[in-house]
């Protein structure tokens, strides 16, 4: 009484294309050519072109990602797993290889490995919706196994069959809610994080200087004072965010971790201590890091603030551009990060 492996495999969403890497136009053409061959089902040609590209740029994460997709489509599951596993080792900041690795493990009924890979994807990017959805499917699969085991041990338990039937219905091929992952393989080579269709927020409006009238000694009206206070808070939030980015760029791990408030709760089930150790390893171990913020906008509401911006991150050969949102609270005279998310 188990669900068909193929049913689950087509339910999970395999990302096919493309990592959020900054690329030149020439490189984008190479990626586009390989992607087009994949969509046309010309997998052998796609592999030849990908391998040829990687001869000159063996570390290129995006082409290696595409090669993993080609290997999976050719039925070379072990080779695809090896490719995505190496990508997670070389570029642990990227969630997409973890997701595809999880789908491959699920196809082999290695659900615990799939769950672990998806949890890593979410830990890397807490706002990664596809990984959250796939993780839900894996949990359902694990629940199915547990219900079947319960029936084997106690076949008279009338409470179990309805639960099992519910999961079967969820993954039924006739369920309109299933995800057409097989057709998703032909998705366009869009850069998922960049999302150009999402209107970028307007650049923060310059704060006008408050100029007191030279000829009056009367107290300033209440409204301008309030505006000046709000503008000051907004500037302090901007300074806190820029200081956080600078600490990251200069690998000043003490200042970087100090930018987070005690209320900050890492994604998933990771403890604060484990998260700090992971961040320390990822930041201090890099040869160089560059974090630049663009189109920073800040909204302040009392002791809470939201900062939205585009983050351009570079570390060695890796370049990632993404939208990021930070939520901050004022603690004493400091604005500290209590939540961060990517892609919105």
In order of 111, 172, 198, the CA distances from 108 in angstroms are 8, 19, 37
SS3 at position 299: strand
Going by CATH, does the domain composed of 227-343 fall within 3.30.750.210?
no
Q: Mean per-residue pLDDT for 50-62?
A: 91
pLDDT number for residue 142 = 87
The domain limits of the chain are 30-147, 227-343
pLDDT number for residue 127 = 75
**Cβ contacts of 44 within 8 Å, gap of 6 or more:** 74
The token pair at 316 is 């060695």
pLDDT number for residue 323 = 83
Q: Which band of pLDDT confidence, cut at 50, 70 and 90, is reported for residue 177?
A: very low
Q: Which band of pLDDT confidence, cut at 50, 70 and 90, is reported for residue 86?
A: very high
Instruction: Say how far apart CA 246 and CA 244 lie, in whole Å.
Output: 5
**Cβ contacts of 185 within 8 Å, gap of 6 or more:** 14, 16, 38, 39, 69, 73
Q: Mean per-residue pLDDT for 244-272?
A: 88
- DSSP secondary structure, 277-293, as one string: HHHHHHHHT-S--EEEE
Q: Do residues 18 and 190 touch, judged by C-beta distance below 8 A?
A: yes
pLDDT number for residue 231 = 84
Q: Mean per-residue pLDDT for 292-296?
A: 92
The fraction of the chain above a pLDDT of 70, given in percent, is: 74
What are the tens digits of pLDDT across the range 183-208? Answer: 333 233 333 333 333 333 333 333 33
Mean pLDDT score of the chain: 76
pLDDT number for residue 185 = 30
Instruction: Name the residue with higher pLDDT: 219 or 227.
Output: 227
pLDDT number for residue 71 = 94
- Region of poorest pLDDT, from 43-47, 164-168, 267-271, 281-285: 267-271
Q: Mean per-residue pLDDT for 238-253?
A: 93
Instruction: Name the residue with higher pLDDT: 54 or 172.
Output: 54
pLDDT of 321 strictly over 90 = no
Strand partners, 15: none
Q: What are the start-end ranges of the E strands in the chain?
A: 290-301, 304-315, 318-331, 334-342
Q: Which residues of 95-104 are buried (b: 16+ CB within 10 A; e: fewer)?
A: bbbbbbbbbb
What are the tens digits of pLDDT across the range 97-126? Answer: 999 999 899 888 898 999 999 998 888 888
- Region of poorest pLDDT, from 9-18, 129-138, 216-225: 216-225
| Domain 30-147 class, CATH top level | mainly alpha
Highest mean pLDDT among 55-59, 194-198, 311-315: 55-59
pLDDT of 73 strictly over 60 = yes
Distance of CA 66 to the CA centre of its chain: 18
Strand partners, 325: 308, 341
In order of 9, 26, 249, the CA distances from 284 in angstroms are 38, 33, 10
Q: Which band of pLDDT confidence, cut at 50, 70 and 90, is reported for residue 82?
A: very high
Q: Which band of pLDDT confidence, cut at 50, 70 and 90, is reported for residue 211?
A: very low
Q: Do residues 23 and 31 touch, judged by C-beta distance below 8 A?
A: yes
Q: Mean per-residue pLDDT for 330-342?
A: 88
pLDDT number for residue 145 = 84
The token pair at 284 is 């201090």
The token pair at 180 is 């057409």
- DSSP secondary structure, 226-292, as one string: HHHHHHHHHHHHHHHHHHHHHHHHTT-HHHHHHTB-TT---STT--HHHHHHHHHHHHHT-S--EEE
pLDDT number for residue 152 = 86
pLDDT number for residue 309 = 93
Highest mean pLDDT among 30-34, 119-123, 291-295: 291-295
Q: Mean per-residue pLDDT for 282-304?
A: 90
Q: Indicate the burial class of 49 (C-beta count within 10 angstroms; 0-12, 13-18, 19 or more).
A: buried
């Amino acid at each position: 009484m188990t669900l068909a492996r193929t049913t689950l495999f087509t339910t999970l969403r395999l990302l096919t294309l493309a990592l959020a890497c900054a690329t030149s136009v020439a490189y984008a053409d190479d990626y586009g050519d390989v992607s087009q061959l994949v969509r046309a089902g010309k997998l052998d040609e796609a592999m030849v072109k990908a391998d040829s590209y990687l001869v000159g740029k063996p570390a290129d994460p995006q082409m290696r990602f595409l090669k993993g997709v080609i290997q999976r489509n050719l039925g070379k599951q072990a080779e695809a797993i090896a490719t995505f596993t190496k990508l997670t080792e070389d570029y642990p900041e990227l969630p997409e290889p973890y997701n595809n690795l999880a789908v491959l493990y699920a196809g082999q009924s290695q659900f615990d490995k799939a769950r672990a890979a998806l949890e890593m994807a979410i830990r890397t990017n807490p706002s990664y919706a596809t990984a959250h959805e796939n993780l839900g499917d894996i949990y359902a699969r694990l629940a199915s196994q547990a219900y079947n085991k319960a029936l084997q041990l106690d076949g008279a338990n009338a409470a179990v069959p309805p639960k099992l039937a519910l999961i079967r219905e969820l993954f039924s091929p006739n369920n309109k809610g299933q995800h057409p992952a097989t057709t998703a393989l032909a998705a366009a080579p869009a850069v998922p994080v960049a999302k150009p269709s999402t209107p970028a927020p307007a650049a923060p409006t310059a704060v006008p200087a408050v100029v007191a009238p030279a000829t009056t000694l009367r107290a300033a009206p209440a409204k301008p004072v309030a505006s000046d206070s709000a503008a000051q808070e907004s500037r302090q939030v901007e300074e806190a965010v820029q200081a956080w980015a600078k600490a990251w760029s200069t690998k000043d791990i003490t200042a970087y971790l100090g930018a987070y408030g005690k209320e900050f709760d890492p994604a998933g089930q990771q403890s604060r201590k484990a998260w700090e150790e992971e961040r320390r390893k990822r930041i201090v171990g890099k040869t160089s890091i560059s974090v630049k913020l663009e189109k920073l906008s800040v909204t302040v509401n009392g002791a809470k603030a939201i900062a939205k911006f585009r983050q351009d991150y570079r570390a060695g050969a890796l370049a990632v551009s993404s939208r990021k949102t930070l939520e901050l609270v004022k603690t004493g005279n400091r604005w500290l990060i209590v939540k961060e998310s990517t892609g919105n």
